[in-house]
Amino acid sequence: MTVRELAIIGAGPAGLTAAIYGRRAGLDVILLEKGMPGGQILITDEVENWPGVKHATGQELAYLLRDHAMVFEPEFFKAQARNITREGEFWKVHTSEGHVTAKAVIIASGAFFKRLGCPGETKLTGAGVSYCAVCDGAFFEDAEVAVIGGGNTAVEEAVYLTRFASKVHIVHRRDQFRADRMASNRALKNPKIVPVWDSVVESIEGDGAVDHLVLKNVKTGVLSKLKVAGVFIFVGIAPHVEYLGDLVESKPGGWIVTNERMETSQLGIFAAGDVRDTSLRQMITAAGDGARAAMAAYQYITGHFG
C-alpha cells in the first residue's frame, strides 16, 4: 500500500495555498480536484481585493495560484471525492478514480452558491449576475441593482451595496423579510433600498450583460420588467461536504467546525477555506486557512509518524 503524507481535497485558493506550504515544508502532497484548479474564483469576472494585484479576473488569479503551486510540484489528481474512511493509522480518500491513502487530509472543497435556476442566470454569471457583494459591489457605482432573497445575508448585503449603487431593489417572494428585526429595519430605513414584495425572478435578460429582470408576482401572477445593471443572488450557500457524512463535527448546514489550527474533530483531518464554519468567506481568508492547515498538518505528521 502506497501512503502519501498529505492529501488535499479541493484546488481553490485554500487547497492551492495548502499545497504550496505543504511542499515547501517538504511533505509529499497530492491535490485532488474534480474540475479546473481555482474553485469559485473561476466564475468571478473581476477581482480588486487581492493584495498586491490592483485588478485581475478571477480566472487570471486562479491560473497564477495554480502556476505558483506547480513550481513546488505537488501531484495533481483529477477526481471527485466520494468518501473518507479510516485505514489503521491512515486515512483513505475514496474518489471517482480510485483511492488515495494518506497520513493527513486537508478538506478544502469549498462551498457553492445556491442558484435560482432561472433562464439567463448561468449565461450572465460574471456579466452582471453575482453571488458576492463584497467581491463585485464596487463595479456598480451609481447603477441600479437587484438583490434576490429575504434572509439575513440578502438584506445585509443589500445595505452594503447601497455604498455603491444608486438604488437597490430587494426581490423577495414573501411580503416581509425573513431576516432578523434589526437587519430588516436597517434595510427598510435606507432610502436607497426598494423592497419588491411577493415576487420571484422568472428570467434574467441581457445581451452579453444584465439589462433587466422579468419578475412574477406570486399572488397575482402578473409579470413585470425591472431594469437593473446587476443582480446579486443570496438564496443560500452550502458547503461541498456531501462526501463526508458525519465524519467530522459540523454546524447546521454542514459547515465544518475547526479550531484556530484548522484541526477538525478527527485527528489527522484538517479543514480550510469556505467549507469551514467561519465569519468571512473570501479568497484571502481561504488562502490564510490553507497556509495554517498545511503547517498544522506538517506538525501532526512529523510528530505522530516521526
Whether residue 132 lies in the annotated active site: yes
> Distance between CA atoms of 241 and 108, rounded to whole angstroms?
10
C-beta of residue 231 within 8 angstroms of C-beta of residue 146: yes
Whether residue 136 lies in the annotated active site: yes
Choosing from 28, 45, 67, 132, which is the catalytic residue? 132
> Distance between CA atoms of 131 and 306, rounded to whole angstroms?
45
285 phi and psi angles, rounded to 5 deg: -70, -35
Residues in Cβ contact with 201 at an 8 Å cutoff, skipping those fewer than 6 apart: 116, 118, 148, 171, 213, 214, 215, 216, 231
Q: Where are the alpha helices (DSSP H) in the chain?
A: 13-24, 58-71, 133-136, 152-161, 181-188, 283-305
Choosing from 45, 67, 118, 135, which is the catalytic residue? 135
- The DSSP output letter for 160 is H
Angle at 250 between CA 247 and CA 252, to 5 degrees: 130
Choosing from 28, 67, 136, 277, which is the catalytic residue? 136
141 in helix, strand or coil? coil
Residues labelled catalytic: 132, 135-136
